[in-house]
Amino acid sequence: HSAGIIGAPFSKGQVKGGVESGPDHIRAAGLVERLLQQGCAVKDYGNLVFEHVSVDEPVGRLKSVRAVGSANQKLSVAMQKVKESGHTAVMLGGDHSLAIGSVHGHAAALGHLSVVWVDAHADINTPLTSYTGNIHGQPLSYLLRELQSKIPVLPNFSWMKPCLSAGDLVYIGLRDVDPAEHYILKMLGVKMFPMSKVDQLGVAKVMEETCDHLSARGKKPIHLSFDIDAIDPSITPATGTPVTGGLTYREGLCITEHLSQTGLLSAVDLVEVNPLRGQTQNDIHSTVSTAVDLLLACFGRQREG
Ligand SMILES: N[C@](CCCC[B-](O)(O)O)(CCN1CCC(O)CC1)C(=O)O
Ligand SMILES: [Mn+2]
Ligand SMILES: [Mn+2]
């Protein structure tokens, strides 16, 4: 294993301050040292510097479009470099709008890929269906080829092109999906394992069916986009949009251990850790250490030793 770590201290895909300090909290919890201890090579590329965008008037309801566009352009270039250097990429967020640049850069380097999106939310609102205008609820609509007719021309987004097909996307952990998102998911026939399915099948079967679905599409490199709010807020409360009824700590490890064992894991996003949303130090510690443990499992750490 070799990990190439990119910190993306970015928060403009949503409106709650604090998520930009996610990368530094995850590093301070010992991510690099723990990866090295388990025999993983590590290259830490540090944090990207996102210049302030002074004039960024809303476009329709969309907030901070220009900032989100330029941040993701920079991230896409960085991701591509990390992949071309042969590492498994680790993108530390920052909010989930960063998946636009992360997936785009990954696809630019490798051509085709599959995406496993672990999240309480579908993050597939289009600019026109979004209630909030927060772009962290929309990244997949910019990435999916099938939705391009729904995306208007946006400032600072001309650098990107859609790079993912709906059949190469699998969701795990959904439990707060907006009506328009649900319609889109059904229309596109996206493979999904909402929490109801996780309860019904159990996480081992969910992972078996996820991998069967992906293998049937030709074993493409896997991009795991892990939103920490997929885990139950009793474990990971320090996040911007907590939703009760989430994955247990153990289910989170089952997911990441299983994907690691496929040997196809090529990039991991770990996003939406927001220390300011924790009520106590313990809230923050529980959230950040769970994020670290999930990442260690992505790089081969096994609970049996
Ligand atoms: N779907 C939401 C949440 C996005 C969460 C992004 B993340 O990266 O954390 O997955 C809106 C959620 N919805 C808004 C109306 C409320 O009544 C219920 C929640 C949106 O803002 O689009
Ligand atoms: Mn979420
Ligand atoms: Mn998300």
- Interval 152-194: pLDDT, tens: 999 999 999 999 999 999 999 999 999 999 999 999 999 999 9
233 alpha carbon, closest ligand = 2
Model-level pTM?
0.99
Q: Among the atoms of ligand 1, which is closest to the Cα of residue 240?
A: 9
Q: Calculate mean pLDDT across residues 242-269.
A: 98
**Which among 97, 103, 123 is the best mutation to test ligand 1's pocket, defined by most ligand atoms within 8 Å of the CB?**
123
Amino acid at 218: G
Mean pLDDT over the full length of the chain: 98
> In the prediction, which pLDDT does 236 show?
99
Distance between Cα 173 and ligand 1 center (Å): 14
Amino acid at 122: A
Q: Calculate mean pLDDT across residues 248-261.
A: 98
> In the prediction, which pLDDT does 55 show?
97
Q: Among the atoms of ligand 1, which is closest to the Cα of residue 133?
A: 21
Is residue 276 within 8 Å of residue 32, measured between CB atoms? no
Question: For residue 249, what pLDDT band results from cuts at 50, 70 and 90?
Answer: very high
Q: Calculate mean pLDDT across residues 115-121.
A: 99
Instruction: Enumerate residues lining ligand 1, CB below 6 A.
Output: 96, 119, 121, 123, 125, 130-132, 134, 136-137, 176, 178, 227, 229, 241, 272
Q: Calculate mean pLDDT across residues 239-263.
A: 98
Q: Report the DSSP pairing between strands 222-227 and 41-47.
A: unpaired
Amino acid at 225: S
> In the prediction, which pLDDT does 108 show?
98
Q: Which residues are catalytic?
A: 96, 119, 121, 123, 136, 227, 229, 272
Question: For residue 74, what pLDDT band results from cuts at 50, 70 and 90?
Answer: very high
Q: Would you mind telling me the total number of residues written for the chain in this entry?
A: 305
CA 160/CA 89 separation, integer angstroms: 20
